[in-house]
Amino acid sequence: MSREAWAQEEIAKKLDRFLGPVLSAARLSLDYELHEGRDDGKFINPDITVSFDGDDIELLLAQKGELLLALEQLTLEALHVPHEDRYRIIFDARDYRLLRIEELRMSAEKAAEMVKRTGMAYSFNPMTSRERRILHLALRDDPEVYTTSEGIPPHRHTVVRLAKESGRTN
């Protein structure tokens, strides 16, 4: 997908051509709307948000939004969105993604406080690259800690460490 193809009208056509048949084949009673970006001020700033609603919304959000995330991933692959551009489109339903970002931000702050208090590194459970990115961004301005992503997908996780251990500063 080229940079020129990011006009909302063009993306809407591509999304409709893909999502319509997929939702129909899956027999999911879901509607979606496209909105221009949704900036939460610090962690996400997509060009386009695809917001879902409908009778099967609970299925989409079950098990930590697993189906929502899978549908997003499948769509990004089908539209051939390059990895570096994947943050330009986000799927959401009932503000699940925004609430998850806030949850991750608070978890990052708690982990940083624990690392500062105990001096021991803190490892988060494995998560997606988008969620790991939020942890990194949440702590990037804290000079006392730093974050790294470790492991191999699907077991890649974020680790918070004291900055003074390695001489690093953010």
pLDDT of residue 38: 64
Give the strands of the sheet with 157-162, arranged side by side.
122-123, 157-162, 145-150
> Between 39 and 138, whose confidence is greater?
138
pLDDT at 170 over 60: no
The pLDDT tens digits of the residues spanning 39-58 come to 666 666 788 889 999 999 99
6: Cβ–Cβ under 8 A, 6 or more apart, which residues?
Answer: 47, 48, 88
pLDDT at 2 over 80: no
Q: How many whole angstroms separate alpha carbon 125 and alpha carbon 53?
A: 29
The pLDDT tens digits of the residues spanning 75-125 come to 999 998 887 777 788 899 999 988 998 999 999 999 999 999 999 999 999
Q: Which of 65-69, 96-100, 119-123, 134-138 has the lowest mean pLDDT?
A: 96-100
Q: 3-class SS at 145?
A: strand
The pLDDT tens digits of the residues spanning 152-161 come to 988 999 999 9
Q: How many whole angstroms separate alpha carbon 134 and alpha carbon 20?
A: 30
Chain position carrying tokens 């609430």: 99
The pLDDT tens digits of the residues spanning 3-27 come to 554 666 787 788 889 999 999 999 9
Chain position carrying tokens 């919304």: 57
pLDDT at 134 over 70: yes
Q: How many whole angstroms separate alpha carbon 44 and alpha carbon 30?
A: 24
pLDDT of residue 113: 98
Q: 3-class SS at 142?
A: coil
Q: How many whole angstroms separate alpha carbon 52 and alpha carbon 57?
A: 7
pLDDT of residue 83: 79
